[in-house]
């Protein structure tokens, strides 16, 4: 029942967005809904939070792609007292609005958790800091076709964030993502080139290390 209602909602708001884009072709491609926490369908954020807690990873700089409307990674970082400095990225205006409300109500959350609204394919290395950990759980799930406001493709995104990782830094991927198969040949190429090495797995996650 829940899935039918959810699909109906997505179809309705999606139709509205397609209509607006037909009128304004240069309109930004964004996600028009807020993704809820459904650990049975998509456990990547839960698995990542458990990974950080179980290994007592603290005080690290983390880039997290795809916050979800639940903002679990930021909330668990606060609840677990890990004090990692996390920069989250969402392409869903509704997810960003949820973050703003939470940050206003609890400024302590925003102390170590910031969320940026942007298309990952529009980012520039000049505006990004360096990181110890980068998550790319949902990379490849959306088209990287060139368009208004875009400057990167999938390969360039991977290369940019690889360059933004400190020596020994980690890049994590969600193996059950339907976009993961697009990334596999790119990751294999980066391993052959010596940029990355497979460091292990954790539940639904695959972990690479910058050499």
Whether residue 197 contacts residue 211, with contact meaning beta carbons closer than 8 Å, is answered with yes
Q: What is the pLDDT of residues 141-200, one digit of tens each?
A: 987 777 778 899 999 999 999 999 999 999 999 999 999 999 999 999 999 999 999 999
Radius of gyration of the chain (CA): 17
pTM equals 0.89
How far is the C-alpha of 90 from the C-alpha of 110, rounded, in Å? 15
Q: Nearest 5°: CA angle at 72, between 67 and 74? A: 80
Q: What is the pLDDT of residues 35-46, one digit of tens each?
A: 899 999 899 999
How far is the C-alpha of 161 from the C-alpha of 63, rounded, in Å? 9
Residue 2, pLDDT score:
47
pLDDT surpassing 90 at residue 13: no
Q: What is the pLDDT of residues 46-99, one digit of tens each?
A: 999 999 999 999 999 999 999 999 999 999 999 999 999 999 999 999 999 999
Q: What is the mean pLDDT of the chain?
A: 90
Fold for the domain defined by 42-210: Rossmann fold (3.40.50)
How far is the C-alpha of 66 from the C-alpha of 96, rounded, in Å? 11
Residue 17, pLDDT score:
58
């Amino acid at each position: 029942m829940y899935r039918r209602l959810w699909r109906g909602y997505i179809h309705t708001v999606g139709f509205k967005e397609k209509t607006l884009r037909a009128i304004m072709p240069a309109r930004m491609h964004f996600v028009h809904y807020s993704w809820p926490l459904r650990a049975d369908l998509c456990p990547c954020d839960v698995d990542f939070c458990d990974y950080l807690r179980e290994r007592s990873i603290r005080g690290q700089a983390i880039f997290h792609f795809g916050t979800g409307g639940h903002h679990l990674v930021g909330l668990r970082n606060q609840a677990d007292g890990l004090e990692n400095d996390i920069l989250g990225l969402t392409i869903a205006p509704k997810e960003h609005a949820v973050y703003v409300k939470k940050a206003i109500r609890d400024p302590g959350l925003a102390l170590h958790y910031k969320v940026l609204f942007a298309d990952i394919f529009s980012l520039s290395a000049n505006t990004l800091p360096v990181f110890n950990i980068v998550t790319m759980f949902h990379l490849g799930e959306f088209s990287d076709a060139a368009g208004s406001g875009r400057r990167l493709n999938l390969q360039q995104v991977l290369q940019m964030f690889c360059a933004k990782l400190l020596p020994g830094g980690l890049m994590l991927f969600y193996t059950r993502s339907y976009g993961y198969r697009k990334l596999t040949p790119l990751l294999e190429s980066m391993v052959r080139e010596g940029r990355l090495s497979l460091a292990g797995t954790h539940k639904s996650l695959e972990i690479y290390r910058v050499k």
